[in-house]
Structure 1
Amino acid sequence: MIKLKGIVATLVTVSALGSGAVIAEEVEKVIEARQSFMQLYSFNLGLVGEMAKGKTEYDAEIAANAAQNLLALAKMNTGPMWPQGSSKADTGLEEVTRALPEIWTTYPKIAEKQDDLTTALETFATVAGKDLASLRGGMKAVGDGCKGCHEDFRAKKEDK
């Protein structure tokens, strides 16, 4: 897990959120929470992705469970992980978060993208455990659902 304490400790107040302010410790917690959340997505997508690519043997039970996990993640209320003021630009933590301010400035566009991903995962959860062809057939819509947010609301990874 990325340690943010040294970097974030220099922040006094990042942005107003509701009736209070997002303070350094809160920024650290929300960024770590959403990174952990995305790691769960990545892990489960990796399981089915490796099967779809033929890199690992297709296992219906693992595929079905991974698809159900992805759907459960998509249905979680993650709002508290995304307070206004926790973007790359707001925090100055370019090496830690790639969240763009457009997440908040274009709302509800991101909510629509999340709905698209959830719909794709609802379908995927019904087919992933049937057979390899069904798993592969459902992967494109899931990938498109992920790209919907990542292309519009996440900064490109910078080369170092």
Structure 2
Amino acid sequence: MDSTESILSSLGVERASAAAHALSLPADAYGNDPQLEMMWAMKAYNHAEVYFNLISSVDPKFLKLTKQDDNIHSAFTESFSDLNLDVLDPDHLKTPEAKERWRPFCNQFEGVVDDFNYGTLLRLDSKKDYTEENTIFATRIQFFAIEIARNRGGFNDTVFNAKAKQQNEKQSS
């Protein structure tokens, strides 16, 4: 059992249900509650883990992340055609200027993509796993936009091919 599962199981059914309900409320309903921040971090970590396992197991070119993939991709390429998808520069996401540039893009998906502004972990280098050095906090719509573009552009193929190679080597021995 990994640390996330042990933490969740230690909560019990009632507290886990309460945590799930708490995570569904808008962020402005809370102050800086450390317990809530830990729950958000666990949720973001679990999402990252599931996504990385997905791109490791399925050819990313064939993945559909949302019902709006085509719309997200079209709007993203129109607004951010200059963004380096292979290795993201955090300044292109986090500086005040970058946030101003991202805001209209993100807001167009309010009510269209569920939880479009929830916090999500995003890999900086598309060839690498989620690590402390390779991870940045982004909104869910930024994650979707960048990862849909990476999948369609072949940037996540390295992850998929490495896992396939590892499995082939394991079967050969």
Is the TM value for this pair above 0.5? no
Higher relative contact order (CA 8 A, sep 6+): 2
Structure 2 length-normalised TM: 0.28
